[in-house]
C-alpha cells in the first residue's frame, strides 16, 4: 500500500516535470512563429550578444520583434493561462464544487465590469486592475452568500447564483458600452471583451508578473490546506485548519489572479474550468500535485492557443473566441466520457 502510494506520487511528480519541459519547449517553438523569420542561430546570437558583444548577423528589426513583440506576448500568454487555471483550481477546491470557475462564479464578469468602467473613466492600467479586482471580489462574495442560502442542492445553487450575478455584471458592461465614446472607448472595450494579447508590451509582462506572483505564491504554499478543505469544513477544522482564514485568503488570491489576467488580456473563458479538470484526469484530486500541474498546463494551453490566434489567418482571431471553440467541446468530452467533470 505504502509502496503503491510512493510510486503514484513519483509518477505525478514526473508528470509535473514533463509539463514544465513541455512548456519550455513550447516557449522556444513560439519564438520562431510569426511573419518575421528568426533562425535558431540568430536567436542564440541575439540573446548572447548582450553578454559577448558578438557582431550582429541579424537585422535590427528581427531583434526588435524578438524583445518587444514576441517575448512579451509569449510570456503574457503563459502568465494569463497559469493564473486562470490556478484560480479555477482553487475555486473548485474552496467551494467543493466541480463547476466552480472564474467564468461560472462571476469573477470574470465582475472583473470585466470593473475594467470596462476603468476604460470608460479613462483610468490607467493600475486602476484597471484595481477596479477589476474589487468588483470581481464583490461578485464572488455575493455569489457565495446567495449560493449558501439557496435550498436544495448546494452545487446547483452556487452555479445558478453565479449565472445570475454574471448576468447582472454583463448588463453593466452593456450599459457602459452604450454610453461609451463610439470612436475610441467603445472599440477598445468591445475588442477587449473578446480577449486578445495583441499589442502586449514589456510593461504588461512586468505588471502581470508581479500581481500574478502575489496571488499565486500564497496559494502554492497553502495548497495542502486547500486539499483538506475539499473533505468538508468540519473535517478540516478537526485537523487544525482555520477554515475561514484559509478560505478568505484563497478567494482573495484567486480573485487577484483572475483580475490580473483579465486586466491584461481581456475576457478569456473556459481555461479556468477545463484545464483543472483535465489535470485531475492525470494527477488525481491531491492539490499538492493538481495545482502545479494546472499552472503549467494552463500556461502551455493558452500559449498554444495564442500561437494559433496569431498565425492561423491573415487577420488575428481574438484568443477568447478560440478558447471557447476549443474548451467547450473538450469539456463536453470530459463530462460525457467520465460521467462528470471531476
Predicted confidence (pLDDT) per residue in 40-80, tens digit: 998 888 888 877 777 788 888 888 899 999 999 999 999 99
Q: What's residue 4's pLDDT? A: 61
**CA neighbor of 130 nearest in space, from 117, 114, 119:** 114
Q: ∠256-261-266 over CA atoms, to 5°?
A: 130
User: Exposed, middle or buried, 217 (CB in 10 Å: 0-12/13-18/19+)?
Assistant: exposed
Residue 328 belongs to a domain: yes
Q: For residue 111, which of 272, 318, 299 has the smallest C-alpha distance?
A: 272
Instruction: Specify if 155 maps to a domain.
Output: yes
pLDDT value at position 338?
A: 56
Cα dist from 313 to 31, 325, 327, 328, whole Å: 18, 16, 20, 22
Q: How far apart are CA 76 and CA 310, in angstroms?
A: 14
Containing structural domain, residue 261: 62-337
Give pLDDT, residue 342: 46
To the nearest whole number, what is the mean pLDDT of the chain?
A: 86
Instruction: Assign residue 234 the CATH number of its domain.
Output: 1.10.3470.10
Residue 30 domain flag: no
The count of domains in the chain is 1
How far is it, in rounded angstroms, from Cα 125 to Cα 10?
43
Cβ-contact 297, 278 below 8 angstroms? yes
Q: Is residue 49 part of a domain?
A: no
Residue 74 CB partners (closer than 8 Å, separation 6+): 27, 30, 31, 303, 306
pLDDT digits (tens, 9 = 90+) for 174-217: 999 999 998 888 888 888 788 888 888 888 899 889 999 999 99
Q: Could you tell me if residue 22 is inside a domain? A: no
Residues of the chain with pLDDT under 50: 1, 339, 341-342
The cell for 245 is 482564514
- The cell for 167 is 448576468
From residue 320, alpha-carbon distances to 38, 76, 265, 327, 342 in Å are: 28, 14, 9, 10, 24
Has residue 281 been placed in a domain? Answer: yes
Residue for grid cell 486539499? 227
CA angle 199, 200, 204 (to 5 degrees): 145
Query: Hey, is 121 helix, strand or coil?
Result: coil
Instruction: Confirm whether 236 is domain-assigned.
Output: yes
The whole-number pLDDT of residue 1 equals 44
- Say if 44 falls within a structural domain: no
Amino acid at each position: 500500500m505504502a509502496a503503491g502510494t510512493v510510486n503514484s506520487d513519483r509518477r505525478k511528480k514526473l508528470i509535473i516535470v514533463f509539463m514544465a519541459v513541455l512548456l519550455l519547449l513550447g516557449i522556444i517553438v513560439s519564438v520562431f512563429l510569426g511573419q518575421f523569420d528568426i533562425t535558431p542561430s540568430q536567436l542564440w546570437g541575439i540573446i548572447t550578444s548582450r553578454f559577448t558583444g558578438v557582431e550582429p548577423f541579424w537585422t535590427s528589426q528581427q531583434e526588435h520583434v524578438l524583445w518587444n513583440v514576441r517575448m512579451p506576448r509569449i510570456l503574457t500568454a503563459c502568465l494569463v493561462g497559469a493564473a486562470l487555471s490556478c484560480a479555477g483550481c482553487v475555486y473548485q477546491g474552496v467551494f467543493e464544487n466541480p463547476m466552480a470557475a472564474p467564468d461560472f462564479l462571476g469573477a470574470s464578469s465582475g472583473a470585466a465590469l470593473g475594467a470596462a468602467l476603468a476604460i470608460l473613466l479613462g483610468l490607467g492600467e493600475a486602476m484597471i486592475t484595481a477596479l477589476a479586482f474589487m468588483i470581481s471580489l464583490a461578485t464572488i462574495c455575493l455569489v457565495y452568500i446567495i449560493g449558501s442560502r439557496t435550498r436544495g442542492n448546494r452545487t446547483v445553487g452556487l452555479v445558478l447564483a453565479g449565472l445570475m450575478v454574471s448576468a447582472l455584471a454583463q448588463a453593466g458592461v452593456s450599459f457602459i458600452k452604450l454610453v461609451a465614446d463610439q470612436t475610441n472607448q467603445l472599440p477598445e472595450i468591445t475588442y477587449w471583451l473578446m480577449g486578445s494579447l495583441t499589442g502586449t508590451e514589456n510593461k504588461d509582462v512586468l505588471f502581470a508578473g508581479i500581481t500574478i506572483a502575489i496571488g499565486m505564491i500564497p496559494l502554492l504554499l497553502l495548497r495542502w490546506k486547500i486539499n483538506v478543505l475539499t473533505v468538508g469544513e468540519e473535517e478540516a477544522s478537526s485537523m487544525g485548519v482555520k477554515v475561514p482564514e484559509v478560505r478568505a485568503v484563497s478567494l482573495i488570491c484567486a480573485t487577484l489572479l483572475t483580475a490580473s489576467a483579465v486586466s491584461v488580456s481581456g475576457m478569456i473563458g473556459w481555461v479556468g474550468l477545463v484545464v483543472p479538470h483535465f489535470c485531475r484526469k492525470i494527477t488525481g484530486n491531491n492539490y499538492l500535485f493538481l495545482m502545479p500541474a494546472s499552472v503549467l498546463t494552463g500556461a502551455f494551453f493558452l500559449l498554444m492557443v495564442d500561437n494559433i490566434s496569431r498565425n492561423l489567418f491573415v487577420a488575428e482571431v481574438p484568443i477568447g473566441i478560440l478558447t471557447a471553440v476549443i474548451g467547450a467541446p473538450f469539456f463536453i468530452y470530459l463530462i460525457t466520457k467520465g460521467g462528470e467533470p471531476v
